[in-house]
């Protein structure tokens, strides 16, 4: 079974790789950011609470995110595995995840660290566009749509995320360095961390993850 975590700074390509891996492995990509943004869009109580944190680039409080994920990984589509994108984000979330999975007699198979330097992260985030319909991720220079502002796949409008503005991008990278980067050591100590260079063509990185990492950490 593949119970995977995608770890990496904002803009490293977790969402992009998660979508490819979901297609190749047939297990769901679960993005905490996507779930939270959907709650913000539909103005649920959770979304109203989360919005102020997300707009400033801060982490949404642990109890909100942990409860949300405890419910999500119990869904039947996770029976054959899952790809967590954006969770856990700090050591207390990582401890909570271990406890949630233990209750389900499951464990993390491996943690894939997508490694990209800060200058490149800023270039990627400031040009990112996302499809409102199917969620496909584009970049206005590196991976543009054929028609500006229109998704190639489903024809919906593409948009720039509210937190992809310069000041918020900087704040998010700082939060990553302080809160999330320590998870690399955390999972290295558990012998579950595999770093992958996140620079290069998207499909070549997916191939690298599949052949070098996922095969090696598959739990029978
Ligand atoms: P979230 O949505 O998770 O954002 P993030 O972690 O900041 O990551 P991103 O989605 O920005 O980047 P990514 O690594 O997925 O990159 P992508 O593939 O899009 O979280 C948003 C907010 O929600 C947080 O700030 C927080 O407030 C809250 N939140 C979420 N999870 C939480 C948690 N667990 N606890 C508390 N709060 C939480 O790629 C980026 C761009 O680069 C795209 O344009 C793409 O086309 C391009 N690109 C990708 N790969 C390549 C490549 N190889 N070459 C060139 N360009 C590339």
Q: Whose CA is nearest to atom 42 of ligand 1?
A: 124
44 C-alpha to center of ligand 1: Å? 22
Q: Between 42 and 213, whose confidence is greater? A: 42
Angle between helices 166-175 and 118-126 (to 10 degrees): 140
Residues 40-63: tens digit of each pLDDT: 999 999 999 999 999 999 999 999
Name which CATH class applies to 2-116+180-214.
Answer: alpha beta
Task: Determine the pLDDT at residue 217.
Answer: 73
What are the residue ranges of helices labelled H in 57-181? 62-72, 91-103, 118-126, 166-175
Longest dimension (CA), the chain: 48
Q: Whose CA is nearest to atom 34 of ligand 1?
A: 87
Mean pLDDT, the chain, integer? 95
Residue 218 pLDDT greater than 60, yes or no: no
Q: Report helix, strand or coil for 14.
A: helix
Q: Confirm or reject: Cβ of 202 under 6 Å from ligand 1.
A: yes
Residue 198 pLDDT greater than 50, yes or no: yes
pTM (global) more than 0.85: yes
Residue 196 pLDDT greater than 50, yes or no: yes
Among candidate residues 89, 106, 124, 129, the one labeled active-site is 89
Residue 220 pLDDT greater than 50, yes or no: no
128 in catalytic set = yes
98 C-alpha to center of ligand 1: Å? 23
Q: Confirm or reject: Cβ of 33 under 6 Å from ligand 1.
A: yes
Strand 158-159 and strand 128-131: the pairing is antiparallel
What are the residue ranges of helices labelled H in 43-165? 45-56, 62-72, 91-103, 118-126
157 C-alpha to center of ligand 1: Å? 19
51 in catalytic set = no
> CB–CB of 109/3 below 8 Å?
yes
Task: Determine the pLDDT at residue 207.
Answer: 95
102 in catalytic set = no
What does residue 114 show for φ and ψ, rounded to 5 degrees?
Answer: -90, 115
Q: Which ligand 1 atom sits nearest the alpha carbon of residue 37? A: 23
Angle at CA of residue 156, ends 150 and 160, nearest 5°? 65
Task: Determine the pLDDT at residue 156.
Answer: 98
14 in catalytic set = yes
Task: Determine the pLDDT at residue 213.
Answer: 76
What does residue 2 show for φ and ψ, rounded to 5 degrees?
Answer: -105, 105
> CB–CB of 34/141 below 8 Å?
no
* Per-residue tokens: 149: 């502002």
Q: Reply yes or no: is the peptide bond before residue 88 cis, omega within 30 of 0.
A: yes
Residues 130-162: tens digit of each pLDDT: 999 999 999 999 999 999 999 999 999 999 999
- Terminal Cα-to-Cα distance of the chain (whole angstroms): 6
173 C-alpha to center of ligand 1: Å? 11
């Amino acid at each position: 079974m593949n119970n995977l975590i995608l770890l990496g700074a904002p803009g490293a390509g977790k969402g992009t790789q998660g979508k490819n891996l979901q297609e190749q492995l047939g297990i769901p990509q679960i993005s905490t950011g996507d779930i939270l943004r959907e709650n913000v869009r539909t103005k649920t109580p959770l979304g109203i609470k989360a919005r102020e944190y997300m707009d400033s680039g801060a982490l949404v409080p642990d109890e909100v995110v942990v409860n949300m994920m405890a419910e999500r990984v119990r869904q039947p589509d996770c029976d054959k595995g899952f790809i967590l994108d954006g969770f856990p984000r700090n050591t207390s979330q990582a401890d909570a995840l271990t406890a949630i999975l233990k209750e389900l007699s499951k464990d993390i198979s491996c943690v894939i660290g997508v490694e990209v330097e800060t200058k490149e992260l800023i270039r990627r985030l400031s040009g990112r566009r996302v499809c409102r319909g199917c969620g496909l991720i584009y970049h206005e220079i590196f991976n543009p749509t054929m028609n500006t502002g229109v998704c190639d796949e489903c024809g919906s409008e593409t948009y720039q995320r509210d937190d992809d503005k310069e000041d918020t991008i900087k704040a998010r990278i700082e939060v990553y360095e302080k809160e999330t980067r320590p998870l690399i050591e955390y999972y290295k100590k558990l012998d579950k961390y595999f770093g992958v260079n996140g620079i290069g063509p998207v499909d070549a990185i997916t191939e690298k993850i599949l052949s070098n990492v996922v095969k090696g950490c598959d739990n029978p």
